[in-house]
Amino acid sequence: MRAEPRAPAANAGAQTFSAADAAREVSLAEPRIRPHVRETPLEPSPWLSREIGAEVYLKLESAQVTGSFKARGALNKLLALGEADRARGVVAASTGNHALAVAHALAQLGMDGEIFLPSSVSPAKLEALQLRKARVRLIDEDPGLVETIARREAEASGRVYVSPYNDPQVIGGQGTIAVELLRQLPQVNTVVVPVGGGGLISGVASFLKRRQPAVRVIGCQPAACPIMARSVEEGQLLELPSGPSLSDATVGLLEPGAITFPLCRELVDEWVVVDEAAIRSGVRLALERHFVLIEGASALAIAALFAVRERLQGAQVALVLSGSHVALPALAEMLREA
């Protein structure tokens, strides 16, 4: 199927949100969310360092509250709301990780909210939401359309929509990973980041490059859904078909006019697209060498590391392992020998 350009959104003017704006949001988010999140470990990887010929470290967002980096953005968005918006409640949409993060943030702050999910969401993630007493609405549509449906419902009901990525405060919260990285590894010169909607890499890259302009930021996506990578390559936001992936957290369409697209185009130095076999190998490697359970999206960073190893000799490299949520059937498939 041919890639089609996305039509401009009604809020396309939001693309004036700059890299400097994003870095400023990260700085504002850091003290705001610090009491509510963990400073996740930065673990050296002797095995990967030897294999790659670089100093390789793993930033374990898999150990974050709710099991992924998404908690940072959700908490920052809700904490930044005024009293009137908090009272009205919020609406969110997600395939899982963002939903868990929003549910956690709502519970922490005593707020009301409704979370829209595709009916195909994994039973494990649905159960985790129900255990957090989240109000969930399942939508029997393509997962890529759930975000649009949720945003329309938020507008109709006068509630705030909490995007997984397309929001300044969400980007700012997710970017606080970079603040920790510079404390933990001040001389880091290469950071590898999984990419779905681009909120994580936009926040991380904007802050890092503001502090250390020479740092190299590498974005990675699955071959089943390389929308951001291909859009940057073409110079416009594309609508591409997506296939199933072990990196399910990075699969889905991007909103027209997403503020993350120009940020990714400006800030990301290199894009790496990896296949399913490489994702599977990354999950196995993390378990075997580090005894760490990661999801398929996290494994993108490990797979990308091997894809660009010749260009990383002697570098100080941090891999952002973005989350740990994985359903047992998917884990069994990933552990199966290729």
Q: What is the per-residue pLDDT across 66-82, written as a single tens digit (0 to 9) for each?
A: 999 999 999 999 999 99
Is residue 122 located within the same domain as residue 185? no
Is residue 104 located within the same domain as residue 233? no
Does residue 1 fall inside a structural domain? Answer: no
CATH, residue 299? 3.40.50.1100
Is residue 106 located within the same domain as residue 189? no
Measured CA to CA in angstroms, residue 23 lies from 18, 29, 172, 265 at distances of 9, 10, 7, 16
Picking from 111, 144, 164, the residue at the C-terminal end of a domain is 164
Is residue 191 located within the same domain as residue 285? yes
Nearest to 73 by CA among 168, 137, 212, 180: 168
pLDDT of residue 14: 42
Beta-carbon contacts of residue 300 (< 8 Å; ≥ 6 apart): 194, 195, 220, 221, 222, 247, 250, 274, 279, 282
In the three-class reduction of DSSP (H, G, I as helix; E, B as strand; rest coil), residue 54 is classed as coil
Does residue 7 fall inside a structural domain? Answer: no
Give me the phi and psi of 68, to 5 degrees please: -160, 165
Written as six digits, the tokens of 238 are 């594309």
Is residue 276 located within the same domain as residue 207? yes
Picking from 136, 164, 192, the residue at the C-terminal end of a domain is 164
Mean pLDDT of 237-247: 90
Is residue 133 located within the same domain as residue 235? no
Decide if pLDDT at 48 tops 70: yes
What residue numbers bound the domain in which 289 lies? 13-69+169-335
Decide if pLDDT at 281 tops 60: yes
Mean pLDDT of 119-145: 82
Does residue 64 fall inside a structural domain? Answer: yes
Nearest to 215 by CA among 262, 182, 184: 182
CA–CA separation, 188 and 214 (whole Å): 10
Measured CA to CA in angstroms, residue 45 lies from 37, 58, 192, 319 at distances of 24, 7, 14, 10
> Model confidence over 182-238: pLDDT tens digits?
999 999 999 999 999 999 999 999 999 999 999 999 999 999 999 999 999 999 999
More confident residue, 3 or 217: 217
Is residue 295 located within the same domain as residue 311? yes
Give me the phi and psi of 58, to 5 degrees please: -110, 120
Nearest to 319 by CA among 94, 65, 48, 63: 48
Does residue 4 fall inside a structural domain? Answer: no
pLDDT of residue 143: 67
Does residue 90 fall inside a structural domain? Answer: yes
**What length does the chain have?**
338
Mean pLDDT of 143-171: 92
Does residue 3 fall inside a structural domain? Answer: no
CA–CA separation, 258 and 239 (whole Å): 12
- Using CB atoms within 10 Å of the CB of residue 184, give its burial: 0 to 12 exposed, 13 to 18 middle, 19+ buried: middle
Is residue 191 located within the same domain as residue 295? yes
Does residue 2 fall inside a structural domain? Answer: no
Pairing of strands 190-194, 216-222: parallel
Is residue 216 located within the same domain as residue 284? yes
Type and span of the H or E element at 93: strand 90-93
Beta-carbon contacts of residue 137 (< 8 Å; ≥ 6 apart): 114, 115, 116, 117
Is residue 63 located within the same domain as residue 75? no
Q: What is the mean pLDDT of the chain?
A: 91
Average the pLDDT over each of 160-169, 290-299, 323-332 and give the range with the smallest value: 323-332
CA–CA separation, 42 and 17 (whole Å): 30
Q: Which amino acid is at 128?
A: A
Picking from 134, 164, 194, the residue at the C-terminal end of a domain is 164
Is residue 38 located within the same domain as residue 103? no
Does residue 217 fall inside a structural domain? Answer: yes
Give me the phi and psi of 122, to 5 degrees please: -65, 145
What's the structural domain count of the chain?
2
Is residue 64 located within the same domain as residue 74? no
